[in-house]
Homo-oligomer: A and B are copies of this chain.
Amino acid sequence: MGCGIITGGGYVVGDLKFVDRFEVTDSFFGKYEKLVREVVLPYQENALNDRIEGAEKSHCIENFRMAAEKLRTGKCDGEFYGMVFQDSDAAKWLEGAAYTLAQKKDAELERKCDELIDLIGEAQHEDGYLNTYFTVKEPDKRWTNLHEAHELYCAGHMIEAAVAYAECTGKTKLLEIMCRMADHIYRHFIEEGAEGYPGHPEIELALMRLYRCTGNERYKELSLHFINVRGVNSDYFAQERQKYKWSVWGSTGDDKEYAQNAAPVRMQTKAVGHAVRAVYLYTGMADAAGETGDEALREACKTLWNNITQCQMYVTGAIGSAYEGEAFTKDYHLPNDTAYAETCAAIGLIFFSNRMLYLERDGKYADVMERALYNCVLAGMQLDGTRFFYVNPLEALPGISGEAKTHRHALPVRPKWFACACCPPNVARLISSIADYAWHEEGTTLYSNLFIGGTLDAGEKLGGKITVCTEYPYDNRITYRFAPLQETMRLSLAIRIPAWSKHTVIRRNGAPVACDIRNGYAYIEDSFGSQDVLEVEVDMRARKVYADSRVAADTGKAAVACGPLIYCAEGADNDGDVLSLFFKEGGALTVGEFLPDKLCGIRQIRAQGYRVEKGDGLYSEQAPVFHDCEIVLVPYYTWGNRGLNQMRVWLPERP
């Protein structure tokens, strides 16, 4: 939304750019948006209100009610229940609902949002403070456990919701609430000079959004403050624990990698610790680098992004190799079956990459967004939208996955709502705001980063609408058509050429266009009329992918990809046994017809391969016997939708 909301005067550019300007109409993302609107958000609203039988209790809304009651009457019945960051579930839900409302009016949904916002307002203290955990349970401990207590994290998510709701609906009540909270935080940390920085980054990126929405420079200043002080006193969390002597989970604060505070942020060179915290922090850093032009910060962001994507990222775009600490581990340590690979971390990597793409117009950032989105993030949600993976392993071994102590986290089928409900609403808010990732705008240049079918209102400046038609990711053609307000629209359309597409052709009205290709984008600057058709053909042949030999888990193995999709072998298509399958080196990969009824619409890939005969015992000295076979592969994001069965992304390969 280009106009922004003016709360305190001043120049305002707004934060959202495309959410209400791009109507998704394709059968792939259109279906996901519909699922979010019709299934995910209503399900989650029920969950937050504890109306789902058999699911773990959320108590999230009830916590707000209790806080409101306490502020009104001085006391409340019952006790706070849930995670210390339970408030953020409501925030993420509201944010997703806001984007959904921008796409399609829904009076009932809007009424629910408004009621929730009223309740949130009632739970706010006169001084602007808002956090039900502290209001209900620990009223005297505000700001004394930045390490564990997630006050700034919850504030950050509610600020994001406030910005989104204001920009999508024009209603500013939540924005005003959160400006008061941000002002409160400003007083505490800037004016009163309180020490510290958040254990879980999020406020940094949220304050930047709030700044862009309101134009209030103090929010930018506060965001920069939290970025700049982080890790300068790397003992802060340990000192805080010593000083205030209370703890949520018993953390001593000694592990400085966990929350990325071992060094000042500009000196950090490797992604470490809790993966979600890391990428939320880096997103805020990249945002700040963009807003301030801070070169050192930009360089740190590039170094960290390169470290993640060149040394610590799964082929599915997942990050976080270890359950312990939900964390990055070491370069090239990418175990498949015990991966943590949290859905939220992949979402955070998309945030970070999206921000990097604002800093540097390089298609590699969009490539990573696409990789994480179409593989890890979509795998996080069951195809029917009712169950979610938090952990997205690249190998599932029934009997071991979800059962062995080392694999308790790596479930082979998606569970219902979790007590820690971070991922489901995160998926919802990403999908419902996907337009802001698909499109960027700079001057008269429109960047088409992701190939999603729909109609874009290019605005008055560019003068018209652009319609994208595609059945991507199951079709290799993307066409752009123009509906100028005047005779023609003059613009530079920058179309991302995915690095995986070895042969990309761009045609204008059937004739190849010689275009300026720079850093992964084809720039086509011209005037376009309503008869013009730009057609992009990407190379959607199936291909094999090989990992660096330093990735011990993948030596001798290959994965299969097709377009943006990583494929996997599941037992359901392969006689129940995936572990005995080998790809044939150089063997044919045949992409099948689109099957509308299989796994909500997919193309399978058939790969030439082998199946090894079982040997004589646990360790056999018989040379293995191989038989030719055909391996059936399905897109990774669809795995685990057909009950308990083996799954493998990386299969050994032999000539």
Which residue numbers of A lie inside 8 Å of B, CB to CB? 309-311, 313, 315, 321-325, 327, 329-333, 335, 337-338, 395, 397, 399-400, 403-407, 500, 502, 543-552, 555-557, 577, 579-580, 582, 585-586, 612, 614-615, 617-624, 652-655
Contacts and interface: CB of A to CB of B under 8 A. Distances in A.
Contact of A547 (B330, B403, B549, B619): B619
Contacts of A579: 549-550, 552, 555
Each complex incorporates copies of this chain amounting to: 2
A405 B273 CA distance: 10
Nearest to A615: B546
Given A315-B619, A330-B404, 17 more contacts: A321-B404, A321-B406, A323-B406, A327-B405, A329-B404, A333-B400, A333-B407, A500-B621, A502-B621, A544-B623, A545-B620, A546-B622, A548-B615, A550-B579, A556-B654, A586-B623, A654-B654
Nearest to A550: B579
Contacts of A549: 577, 579-580, 612, 614-615
Contacts of A655: 654-655
A511 to B, nearest CB: 29
B545 A623 contact: no
A274 B190 CA distance: 53
8 contacts: A337-B552, A546-B619, A547-B618, A548-B620, A549-B580, A555-B580, A556-B582, A655-B655
Contacts of A335: 338, 406
Given A399-B330, A548-B614, A404 B623 contact: no
A543 B622 CA distance: 10
A504 to B, nearest CB: 15
A399 B311 CA distance: 13
Nearest to A395: B552
A327 B405 CA distance: 9
A-B interface, 3 closest residue pairs, ranked by CB to CB distance from nearest: A556-B652, A329-B404, A549-B580
A405 B555 CA distance: 22
A648 to B, nearest CB: 8
A219 B193 CA distance: 72
Given A585-B623, A619-B315, A622-B546, A399 B654 contact: no
A552 B553 CA distance: 10
Of A324, A552, A623, A654, chain B has the most CB atoms within 10 Å of the CB of A552
A329 B403 CA distance: 8
Contacts of A615: 546-549
A405 B324 contact: yes
B621 A322 contact: no
Contacts of A327: 405
Given A330-B404, A556-B557, A618 B654 contact: no
A146 to B, nearest CB: 23
Contacts of A323: 406
A371 to B, nearest CB: 9
Contact of A621 (B330, B543, B624): B543
A341 B232 CA distance: 41
Given A329-B406, A556-B654, A624 B582 contact: no
B652 A621 contact: no
Contacts of A330: 399-400, 403-404
A183 B329 CA distance: 52
Contacts of A622: 546
B545 A404 contact: no
Contact of A309 (B325, B331, B577, B618): B618
Nearest to A624: B546
Contacts of A543: 621
Given A552-B337, A579-B555, A580-B549, A618 B313 contact: yes
Contacts of A586: 623
Given A333-B400, A557-B556, A623 B406 contact: no
A326 to B, nearest CB: 11
Contacts of A582: 556
B399 A331 contact: yes
Contacts of A654: 556, 585, 654-655
